[in-house]
Structure 1
Amino acid sequence: MGRGTKTTKKPAAESTAYDESKIKTLSSLEHIRLRSGMYIGRLGDGSNQDDGIYILLKEVIDNSVDEFIMGHGSTIDITIQGNRLSVRDYGRGIPLGKIVECVSVINTGAKYNTEVFQFSVGLNGVGTKAVNALSEDFMVQAFREGKYARADFSRGNQKDEKKGKSQEKTGTLISFVPDPEIFPDYRFNLEFIEERLWNYAYLNSGLTLRLKVLDENGKTLTAEEHESSGTKKNGWQVFHSEKGLQDLLEREVGDELLYNISYYKAQHLEFAFTHGQSYGETHWSFVNGQFTSDGGTHLSAFREGLLKGVNDFYQKSYSGVDVREGIVASVAVKLESPVFESQTKNKLGNTEIRSWIVQETREAVADFLHKNKTAAKRIQDKIINNEKLRKELNVVRKEAKEAAKKIALKIPNLKDCKYHLGDKKRGEESTIFITEGKSASGSMVSCRDVYTQAIFSLRGKIQNMFGRSQAAIYKNEELYNMMMALGIENGIEGLRYARIVISTDADHDGFHIRNLLLTFFLSFFEDLVVQERVYILETPLFRVRNKQETRYCYNLKERDEALKAIRNPEVTRFKGLGEISPNEFGQFIGEDIRLLKVNIRTIKGLHETMDFYMGKNTPDRKSYIMQNLLDVSD
């Protein structure tokens, strides 16, 4: 402050005045824009399948699927042109005099009338309203009895409304462009959209969904210009299923089955299951077409009913662990009033449905076993083998625990955090970094958030666990300690951290360790990957700086851009995580953390893929490596 200047401190009461002028009343759509996360969950840029731009599409398609469920319209057309998404159904069409209210006024719609919509997901009445509010451009058009009505909006504000005659088939068309103010720098991942369309097809036997991708001029892109998992017909990619959840399992598991899939479908409950060669349990659960990634009462009731049905048939008292080990199943329920434990509907909370799902599943499973003697024999053989392996594993497990007690009272090489998965306070933030040696973890230990970030240090390369038995984990001290640190010894239900982050150097050894860890998780704890708990930490390869500015670059392109932007730069190449100082490293595991999610599109063929890369050396793999070697001399 210069000499002679004087500052006057504003009285606290004046700066924090709380009177009528501070009270604001927002319209419903303004509130959606201000608190968008309350309505659609995460925002994101389209790199995650749960990002908001896909939730907007889901909300629109849900309405069209609800029409199909009520017996109106068996085809839904989805088109993508740049950032514009359009959904056209051939259902009853929104009543022409109500199209504005149905997409702009909260708690307006027919889904509160169970005579019109019995099994809808969007019972909160904000689906298309949220799409309208969060779109830069939004258009709704309804066709009924040779007439049409159309309304146009921008960010929830109505721009135009038209009515007139039309030759179009009865139904509804909604077209929108997600608002870049809400979703900056977003782009659509077609793979995520196709996966969602397949789920709609599996859950609604007989429904046809068609997807068309257009360029900016409206020309249909060819198969060579973009890949699709749907059948192509007249420029449309077609998603259709006649056998519902049975088709889902056949697509996901393929030929890795012990017996033919058991399939059951009734008015409110549908499920399919079989056993495969993998460890643990793999489930897909749905409520009114909504994928519930965290399960809920419908899934737990199905698991209980399955166990009771098996024990009824064999007149045994097999344990649930032995019956369900290696199972692959999908279950879907239809409810008039679903209660979810979060706005994003990841977990069902209805407790009153448990008894009838248990009983219906129990009877259906016993009936399947009576009618399928070959499957019944193979299931029993599987259960007996699981029981034998479990008892052998318990012996090894006991020996490993005794050995661990002699080594230390706590898990070696683990720097734990305060909060863990399941804790109400910050539990979902809990993260464990698996690092490559103590030198690599040194920088992280001093700059981590001790409340939510734990670190487990490996002592180098771990053992390749492909093709090994689960008992081998207990004979390997390092893998045993890591498993105990994660809390997954008795299954992933005991997982202590919301995220498992593999943090290795960006060199050949680091990549090898990364592959060994992924092989370990996919071999024995596949559900961790299926539930999207496993990530890879991205750290900068280069630091480009001068006295005025510093930039951290994660690839060659970013480095070259930094070299052009910074005068007389000094360039540092980070060969390992241990070379990054604690003062620098804090930002790379803080708010600006870059994580690459590990996921698998389908478990079908996973064993063969792992065998090729991580199995015994073969001429085929040697030939593949030689043909795909890159010159990394730079």
Structure 2
Amino acid sequence: MASNYTEASIKTLSSLEHIRLRPGMYIGRLGNGAHAEDGIYVLLKETVDNCIDEFTMGFGKKIEVEVEERSVRVRDYGRGIPLGKLVDCVSIINTGAKYDSETFQKAVGLNGVGQKAVNALALSYRAQAIREGDTKVVEFEKGRLKSESKVTKTTERNGTFIEFTPDEALFGKDFRFRAEFIEDMLWNYAFLNRGLTLTLNGKPFRSQNGLKDLLTKELNGEPLYPIIHLEGDDIEIAMTHGNHYGEEYWSFVNGQHTTMGGTHLAAFREALVATVRNHFKKDYDAADIRQSIDAAVSVRVQEPVFESQTKTKLGSTEIGPGGPSLKEFVGKFMQQALDTFLHKNREVAEIIKGKIEQNEEERKELAGIRNIAKERAKKASLHNRKLRDCRLHLGDRNPRAEESTLFIVEGDSAAGSLTSTRDVQTQAVFALKGKPLNTFGLTKKIIYENEEFHLLQSALNIEDGLDGLRYNRIVIATDADVDGMHIRLLLISFFLQYFPDVIRNNHLYILQTPLFRVRNKKVTQYCYSEQEKQAAMARLGASHEITRFKGLGEISAGEFKDFIGENIRLDPVNLHHLYSSDELLTFFMGKNTPERQEFIIDNLRVEKDLIEV
């Protein structure tokens, strides 16, 4: 029977209640800190953004961040929040000084929402403002004011001090801050704000060369030519080409890392093509110009419009009210600055021209075999059962589309167990016939010549980039033995070589499967480590028995249901230092057998055989 829809059904929430009920509107996602995009880092970013706005306006050249596993403290040396408005500024939504361009110009914080969301989603929150020898402290719990001090005298320097602990009721009991993600965040702030020093638990982050330093840090392999670094009023660009596949960009607006790009990045990509065509007086294909590019783009915009509160994608079309369009602004800068650079640096210009022509040659070579490969794939898909697809896919207009998952498994046995117990709405299975090809050092042509990899690429729909990706999660599910580990490495190498954006955008995972089953006549427990096994043995007493799982095929369909459902354990593959992946791939997947053999011998660890009871 349908519920009655009456006046009593209508509710009005306070801003605090709304933030806690719908946190996704304010911080994008929750998460436990395992991903750089998880909400706890957005809370930190919102706090540091306010400090950056102070620095941008010329106040305070140092920002101190201290992080424990679950708590954060941020201190800046700006003007300090006006003491009489301290409570309002950290707790009442739509309160702030950034609604006009007088107090803050080209700021990141715009809507008077960010710090209020931090407060509302924190178990405990403390703010202290220091201004001209006076200070005041306010403390909150889950967004509700608990204490407010009187204004007292102090000898501390001006600024603002924020301390908070995210609420485990929202972020989970196992959430924690991971230093590597925070370091990346602070490096980005340093690259974009020369003259600013940030510290993380005392470790300094400072840049002298801006985006050139960023690109140097992030590059995947050696660049084909020295980084081109171009600067102008409200714009900075660093770029080079490499030998990787795809296009790699880092884009920023007013010091904000726009991870999803936006109008400024689109303007740069278009301006790059136009400038190169005009310089060489040749109508090169846009894809050939941009293939293998590494570029960082930063613009400063007055009153920017982002597509969400998390500010990951710019929607503004103008550089400021009454100013030129972003497309015109970026295009004019590129036409002048890049064209002038290429005229002055003919050696670099010739390298770029050679790279474009190499890309063109490879593209035409691939075009010749793509149609043959696609026809073969069509025929193969009619007669093989490699892909057991699901009904919902990433991008579908369905709330569960984000759950879409493709499991890549070895062999029919594991595929059978997984297929019979999966959720057919959101979980698909792709079965490998054995160990896939080692693709290290091979060109993209191999994808079309190797039926298995071409079928996998087609299943994922990533031939032309991630826009058409059909699954939000790609999960490598292999046996917990040497062969399984080898297959895992081969697949990671495949993605890293040809589709690094799959990893960079957090779509690739490793499935954890239990190593042991410990049970007695009443209780069964699955254990993922030796420690969990020992704990289970202690709980179940002397009557227990232990089964050691060596492969997915050994796990029955009935048991598998527990491991890919709500309690699924996934390890994200996030090659944090992606710039060193060439070196890693060369060592682990290349033809350096003696060195690798020596490494294995030096690091070999022999564990006692596990005796089944």
TM-score by length of 1: 0.89
Residues 215-265 of structure 1: CA deviation (Å, up to 9, x unaligned)? xxxxxxxxxxxxxxxxxxxxx211011211111001112760111111223
- Find the aligned partners of 2:113 and 2:426 in 1 and give their Cα distance: 34
Deviates more, 1:48-57 or 1:408-417: 408-417
The DSSP-based 3-state class of the residue aligned with 1:626 is: helix
Q: Which amino acid aligns with 1:449?
A: D
Specify the alignment match of 2:322 in structure 1.
Answer: none
Q: Which amino acid aligns with 2:179?
A: L
From 170, 173, 182, the counterpart of 1:193: 182
Asked if structure 2 preserves the Cα contact closer than 8 Å seen for 1:307 and 1:362, the reply is no
Pair 1:94 & 2:62 matched: no
From 156, 169, 180, the counterpart of 1:181: 169
Equivalent residue runs for 1:301-380 within 5 Å: 301-351=267-317, 353-380=326-353
Specify the alignment match of 1:428 in structure 2.
Answer: 402
The DSSP-based 3-state class of the residue aligned with 1:210 is: strand
Specify the alignment match of 2:323 in structure 1.
Answer: none
Residues 120-139 of structure 1: CA deviation (Å, up to 9, x unaligned)? 33323121112222223222
Residues 309-359 of structure 1: CA deviation (Å, up to 9, x unaligned)? 110100111111111111111122323333333343333333453443344
Residues 367-395 of structure 1: CA deviation (Å, up to 9, x unaligned)? 32122211101000101111111111222
- Find the aligned partners of 2:375 and 2:10 in 1 and give their Cα distance: 64
Q: Could you say if the C-alpha distance between residues 172 and 404 of structure 1 is closer, same or farther in structure 2, counting changes exceeding 3 Å?
A: closer
What's the offset of the Cα at 1:410?
7.1
From 397, 419, 425, the counterpart of 1:451: 425
Q: In percent, how many aligned pairs have the same letter?
A: 54
Asked if structure 2 preserves the Cα contact closer than 8 Å seen for 1:141 and 1:172, the reply is yes
Deviates more, 1:378-387 or 1:165-174: 165-174
Asked if structure 1 preserves the Cα contact closer than 8 Å seen for 2:221 and 2:581, the reply is no
Specify the alignment match of 2:472 in structure 1.
Answer: 498
Residues 107-157 of structure 1: CA deviation (Å, up to 9, x unaligned)? 111011221222233323121112222223222111222222222222222
Specify the alignment match of 1:438 in structure 2.
Answer: 412
Q: Which amino acid aligns with 1:399?
A: I
- Find the aligned partners of 2:566 and 2:380 in 1 and give their Cα distance: 37
Asked if structure 2 preserves the Cα contact closer than 8 Å seen for 1:412 and 1:481, the reply is no
**Alignment gaps of 5+ in structure 1:** 1-11, 213-235
Q: Which amino acid aligns with 1:442?
A: G
Aligned residues: 598
From 41, 44, 48, the counterpart of 1:57: 44
Q: Could you say if the C-alpha distance between residues 347 and 599 of structure 1 is closer, same or farther in structure 2, counting changes exceeding 3 Å?
A: same
Residues 532-554 of structure 1: CA deviation (Å, up to 9, x unaligned)? 21111111122222333222211
What's the offset of the Cα at 1:176?
1.9
Q: Which amino acid aligns with 2:116?
A: K
The DSSP-based 3-state class of the residue aligned with 1:482 is: helix
The DSSP-based 3-state class of the residue aligned with 2:51 is: helix
The DSSP-based 3-state class of the residue aligned with 1:506 is: coil
RMSD: 2.2
- Find the aligned partners of 1:287 and 1:424 in 2 and give their Cα distance: 30
Pair 1:34 & 2:21 matched: yes
From 537, 547, 552, the counterpart of 2:511: 537
Equivalent residue runs for 1:39-188 within 5 Å: 39-81=26-68, 83-158=70-145, 159-183=147-171, 184-188=173-177
Asked if structure 2 preserves the Cα contact closer than 8 Å seen for 1:448 and 1:589, the reply is yes
Pair 1:478 & 2:452 matched: yes
Deviates more, 1:318-327 or 1:491-500: 491-500
Pair 1:396 & 2:369 matched: yes
Residues 402-436 of structure 1: CA deviation (Å, up to 9, x unaligned)? 44455454775111222222223243322211111
Q: Could you say if the C-alpha distance between residues 406 and 443 of structure 1 is closer, same or farther in structure 2, counting changes exceeding 3 Å?
A: closer
Residues 514-543 of structure 1: CA deviation (Å, up to 9, x unaligned)? 000011111111121112211111111222
Q: Could you say if the C-alpha distance between residues 412 and 284 of structure 1 is closer, same or farther in structure 2, counting changes exceeding 3 Å?
A: farther
Specify the alignment match of 2:255 in structure 1.
Answer: 289
The DSSP-based 3-state class of the residue aligned with 1:181 is: helix
Q: Which amino acid aligns with 1:441?
A: A
Specify the alignment match of 2:497 in structure 1.
Answer: 523
- Find the aligned partners of 2:378 and 2:25 in 1 and give their Cα distance: 47
Q: Could you say if the C-alpha distance between residues 74 and 23 of structure 1 is closer, same or farther in structure 2, counting changes exceeding 3 Å?
A: same
- Find the aligned partners of 2:66 and 2:498 in 1 and give their Cα distance: 40
Q: Which amino acid aligns with 1:128?
A: Q
- Find the aligned partners of 1:492 and 1:211 in 2 and give their Cα distance: 34
Equivalent residue runs for 1:203-242 within 5 Å: 203-212=192-201, 236-242=202-208
Pair 1:614 & 2:603 matched: no
The DSSP-based 3-state class of the residue aligned with 2:402 is: helix
The DSSP-based 3-state class of the residue aligned with 2:518 is: strand
